[in-house]
Amino acid sequence: MKQLLFEDDPQFWFETLRVFGHASYGGSDFGEVVATASRIKPGDYDSWHDEWLAAAERLAAEADRVAAAHPISARDAYLRASTYYRSAEFFLHGLPADPRIAYAYDRSVDCFHRAIEGFAGVERVEIPYEGHVLRGYFYRAPGTGPRPILVAHNGFDGSAEEVHFFGAAGGQERGYHVLAFDGPGQPSAIHRDGLAFRPDWEHVVGPVLDFVLADPGVDPDKVALLGLSLGGMLAPRAAAFDERVKAVVAVDGVFDAGSAVTAFLPWDRAEIERRANAPQDEELDKLLAAGRAASPTLRWATDHGRYVMGAATDREFLAKYLTYTLDGGVAERIKCPTLVCEAADDLFFNGDGETQPEPRRLYERLTGPKTLLSFTAEEGADAHCHVGAQRLATARVFDWLDETL
């Protein structure tokens, strides 16, 4: 898709398109996004924060002002404010102690909570997990009797609140229960409890399935699992080890998450892994620093990656991130039907010209029933996770689930 804003900064453009896309389910408004983004200085994290925060504060104040007399208007404003607060703190994670992070994150979640008070059948949940809780939302479909359920989670940088726009609202209106949650490394777990990511995601999904299957309204024979972005590797990983998952959706499919970073380096994967895990490697450190300076995407990914992976340095983040793979026979263990989505112009996982795009690598390794679903530029859906075409992506995913379950 043509970059309409931030022509020299693909990362700022992608995050802007992501916000645009949430308009599909009421999470943004086109004019608000254009007006806000047009005031941001390209590549300037402080400017990005300041403008999105100002937009969020204005909307939240308006929602507070009209809440008693006009609850629908307030609900809509709170939902958009939640998106803009989340955007405000998105690029600040390179300095985790920055107080602006906690403020914007807390306000984003609070506004989302205020918004869902106006939606029928949506409740906040806390799922027991290794002495902590995983926080999320249960979207209960209307009607009686056991219903199919979609358990959905985000990826490297998205939240359970954002899943509202990536399938939760769309699933509920189609007759599915949906459970959206944050696992370790994802926003509520890292912000509230300091729980960093872990690659063995079956140990995360297991307690979540225990929780939903205890609900008499859930049909245990129609349990689907969906993961977004890095979740496109995590959800298949969980499905490989938990037979309670009857169908899995990878949006978009990821076989080896480390490819998003190794593409910037001159060695093969084995050499990069050896260097990343060495006690020291000045050459790799210099290349990572140079990559950060040259690539807005690598700059953001390493900043955020240190934060969510519990890493002190970019090299330590890389070492941890290289463990996020379905190699070693994991992909081949998946027996349930699997939907692998791919984007024609994926910013992160589109291969480097010599290696295939990650969705294709995952699809080819699957041995069970499988479907590859491609999204194109002609559809306006070619960006990572189809952020510019969320209604289209939601429809195709749930159509596949209808036919599969």
147: left (phi over 0), alpha (psi -120 to 50) or beta: beta
DSSP code per residue over 247-262: EEEEET--SBTTHHHH
User: What does the alpha-carbon distance between residue 402 and residue 400 come to, in Å, rounded to a whole number?
Assistant: 5
Contact 192/135 with Cβ under 8 angstroms?
yes
> Is 229 a known active-site residue?
yes
Distance of CA 83 to the CA centre of its chain: 13
Angle ∠(231,237,243) on CA atoms, nearest 5: 120
User: Is residue 300 helix, strand or coil?
Assistant: helix
Residues 6+ apart with CB under 8 A from 248: 224, 225, 226, 227, 235, 236, 238, 239, 334, 336, 337, 338, 339
Residues across the chain: 405
Q: Which helix (H) or strand (E) holds 151?
A: strand 147-153
Q: Which amino acid is located at 337 in the chain?
A: P
The 10 Å Cβ neighbour count of residue 243 is 9
Between strands 122-129 and 132-139, the pairing is antiparallel
Which of these is catalytic: 24, 108, 229, 259? 229
Report the chain's C-alpha Rg in angstroms. 20
User: What does the alpha-carbon distance between residue 102 and residue 376 come to, in Å, rounded to a whole number?
Assistant: 37
Residues that are catalytic: 229
